[in-house]
A and B are shown apart, each in its own frame.
Chain A
Amino acid sequence: MSATHPTSLAPTADAALATDRAAIRTKPAGIATAVRDALLAALIMFGLSIPILLLRTEQGETGSLVLRQRWPLVAVCCAIVFAVRLALRLYGIRALPSRKAVRREVVTTSADPAAQSGFRFATIATPLFLGVAVAFPVLIILGKGGLSESRYWIDLGVLMLTYVMLGWGLNIVVGLAGLLDLGYVAFYAVGAYSYALLATTFGLSFWICLPMAGLLAAFWGILLGFPVLRLRGDYLAIVTLAFGEIIRLVLINWVDLTGGGAGISSIPRVTFFGIPFSQDEDGFAARFGLEFDGMHRIIFLYYLILVLALVTNLVTMRLRRLPIGRAWEALREDEIACKSLGINTTNTKLTAFATGAMFGGFAGSFFAVRQGFISPESFNFLESATILAIVVLGGMGSQIGVALAAIAMVGGPEMLRNLGFLKSIFGEGFDPNEYRLLLFGLAMVAMMVWRPRGLISVREPSVALRERKSIAGSFVGEGHG
């Protein structure tokens, strides 16, 4: 009896099945059957299009609504469905199942080369990205030929890095410890409001408030952690989602403290370690003998968030190699086995929650100091979803993957703003901005089809005896909450 791991057996069987199916489907379909099938599809399309396409309400001359019937549109759509279905039936369908069979085979046999290429990619990409990130403002200023001209790009860079940092923070909770957290934005909000309130009420400087905001967020992380530790999977996700909403609703309704929906404005700006970025004589520009420019502050903010993000990354990488990080990953792989090895799973989960929340809090106080104004609007569920999407898209647990995903998720939609040339194809009325989310959704679906475990799905081991080999994503657990 050969001892085979079940996962390596199952896909092969699947592949064989798919090949069988392909063999069945590739039997030449008669033209008559194809036409009948296409007619059926067109009929279904016709049925569906009556309520959706055919009738349109419009304002009549008297101002009342009238129904306009659009038969030509329905005819065109049905014809398209008929033609496409016929073509698929006659030629196209052969390609689909056979491609499927080949693809599955690749997945089963080439897990190792894929892992190796991902690993090589990470080793080259890390210094490259770091270099680009450090030189980014300089490159942009040189390219754009001026400080104020490059404002848009540096602002975009700051935004991207904020999400990189948030993604890395959430990656500790979701990617390493495998706890699905849908309310991460709550800690972002705690950090932002901590800074805003401490600075406006007590006049504390950013550099004192930053660690305090992190600690407060970590505290709230532990507070959330305690009741939800027993929950797993979907239940944990729901409770964290609720926590995120609770924080937001408290911020809206506790008007005395937070200013309610109006938010907190005139939050003190960031200073260069005590020297304000102002036009005064003791301002940053005057002290360093520069001509005053508002962009100095923006560039400083860029480097500030870069440092914060890198600190997040360094601490996470370090923690991964420490027993606590290994325990997080072990928790993601198998919680029961962890218990049997004497790991206190409660404390381990709490530390993951608290560490993730702390970085969220840092990012939050950066957000407040950058904006100068915060309101509960900025901390809605969509933010949590975006950050979670960044982690999932990047490949859970992969630092470089999360960074890439953050850049794609934040930068991608911004890039669409600049697709003016599409107007020459689709006419003057075409506004790519309106299709941003649509294109974005399509890109996400495509991602999940081709790389279902994220951009970088391989896991790098935290320790090696002889040779460091990457672990194919198919072995790595996704966590059970």
Chain B
Amino acid sequence: MRHDTDPVLEVEHLTMRFGGLVAVDDLSFRCGRGDITALIGPNGAGKTTVFNCITGFYRPTEGMMSLHGQNGTHLLERLPGHSIIWRAKVARTFQNIRLFSGMTVLENLLVAQHNALMIASGFSLFGILGLSRYTRAERAAIERAVFWLERTGLVDRADDPAGDLPYGAQRRLEIARAMCTEPVLLCLDEPAAGLNPRESLELNDLLLGIRQEQGTSLVLIEHDMSVVMEISDHVVVLDYGIKIADGTPAEIQSDPRVIAAYLGVEDEEVAQVEAEVGAL
């Protein structure tokens, strides 16, 4: 398995406590390079908390998260939030879409390339003077943005405000914006939420395409099992902040603990399952 031999992300003994609440408890898992890893679990299982730890929005209480990128290994828990994307190249999308709704679609994608453009503009000094170095960099940035707009089918709406797009297009735009940062690892928080079946299928194609063409590894939180089972190579199941299963989609589908976590069990089996998962 790729996640054992060539992991892009290793999460070891990750624990996140909020006061007395243990949201994530001693969680360890690996994401293979070029894999699509799905993080699933019932509501409140701690999936988004794991994402927030990986992407630097939370500082974990305990644990280590190492990212093996092209330019060496980064310990994510030690990087300040804004350098996680810039140095370690981990991008993310949000469960509730967070676009810059008053800016155009194109501007959204340019903001995503902020750090590279900032350097090209000499931290605004060259830019203010209107030197050609910055103009060239901006043109390249627009080209990259147009590439992703074409890839996500949004190029016709490039000059419209992002808040004016329909819901499905906003989801795609958020993915395009994250991809404009050229990530090694892309974390998608419920990318299929609110999409209709056809849009879900298109999303599958887009994600598979991103993996294939860009070599980006993906981690996704998803409740839509048609997406999870269809595209993921590796599934990690969380319940109450604890990993209860880890394996291929087929293994997960038949895992009794996963079924118990999602559907519950017959009354007479409760004691047996509790003993298995070590809940007592």
Which segment of B69-77, B80-88, B202-210, B254-262 sits at the interface?
Answer: B80-88
Question: Closest CB-CB distance, B133 to chain A, in whole Å?
Answer: 13
Most buried by A among B57, B106, B168: B106
Question: Closest CB-CB distance, A7 to chain B, in whole Å?
Answer: 7
A337/B100 in contact, CB under 8 A: yes
The contact string, 1 if C-beta is below 8 Å from chain B, for chain A 325-336, is 011011011101
- Interface membership of B161, Cβ < 8 A: yes
- Interface membership of A319, Cβ < 8 A: yes
Of A318, A330, A463, A472, the residue contacting B106 (CB under 8 A) is A463
Of A323, A329, A468, A477, the residue contacting B159 (CB under 8 A) is A468
A341 contact set on B, CB distance < 8 A: 85, 91, 111-112, 114, 177-178, 181
A319 contact set on B, CB distance < 8 A: 124, 128
Which B196-216 residues have C-beta < 8 A from chain A?
A: 196
Whole-angstrom CA separation of A53 from B164 in the bound complex: 54
Closest to A342 in B: B85
The contact string, 1 if C-beta is below 8 Å from chain A, for chain B 113-137, is 1110110010110011010001000
B128 contact set on A, CB distance < 8 A: 315, 318-319, 322
Whole-angstrom CA separation of A339 from B158 in the bound complex: 23
- Interface membership of A324, Cβ < 8 A: yes
B57 contact set on A, CB distance < 8 A: 336, 339-340
Of A1, A3, A7, A464, the residue contacting B163 (CB under 8 A) is A7
B142 contact set on A, CB distance < 8 A: 463, 465
Of B98, B106, B114, B161, the residue contacting A465 (CB under 8 A) is B106
A326 contact set on B, CB distance < 8 A: 103, 107, 110-111, 114
Q: A319-B128, A342-B115, A463-B142 are in contact. Are A330 and B85 (CB under 8 A)?
A: no
A475 contact set on B, CB distance < 8 A: 101-102, 161-164
A342/B100 in contact, CB under 8 A: no
Q: How many residues of B contact A (CB 8 A)?
A: 57
Which A427-478 residues have C-beta < 8 A from chain B?
A: 459, 461-469, 471-472, 475-477
A337/B167 in contact, CB under 8 A: no
Question: Closest CB-CB distance, A358 to chain B, in whole Å?
Answer: 13
A338 contact set on B, CB distance < 8 A: 111
A329/B103 in contact, CB under 8 A: yes
- Interface membership of B28, Cβ < 8 A: no
B98/A466 in contact, CB under 8 A: no
Most buried by B among A318, A330, A334, A340: A340
B167/A469 in contact, CB under 8 A: no
- Interface membership of A266, Cβ < 8 A: no
Question: Closest CB-CB distance, A458 to chain B, in whole Å?
Answer: 10
Q: Which 7 A-B residue pairs are closest in the complex by CB-CB distance?
A: A476-B102, A342-B85, A3-B167, A333-B100, A323-B117, A337-B98, A322-B127
Query: Taking beta carbons and an 8 Å cutoff, which residues of A are in contact with B?
Result: 1, 3-5, 7, 315, 318-319, 321-324, 326-327, 329-330, 332-334, 336-345, 351, 459, 461-469, 471-472, 475-477
Q: Show 16 residue pairs from A and B whose CB-CB distance is below 8 angstroms, ordered by the A residue.
A: A1-B196, A3-B168, A5-B165, A319-B128, A324-B118, A329-B103, A334-B99, A334-B101, A336-B94, A341-B178, A341-B181, A344-B82, A461-B107, A463-B138, A465-B106, A465-B158
Can you name 6 extra interface pairs (CB under 8 A) apart from A323-B121, A329-B102?
A315-B128, A329-B100, A342-B114, A345-B82, A462-B107, A466-B159
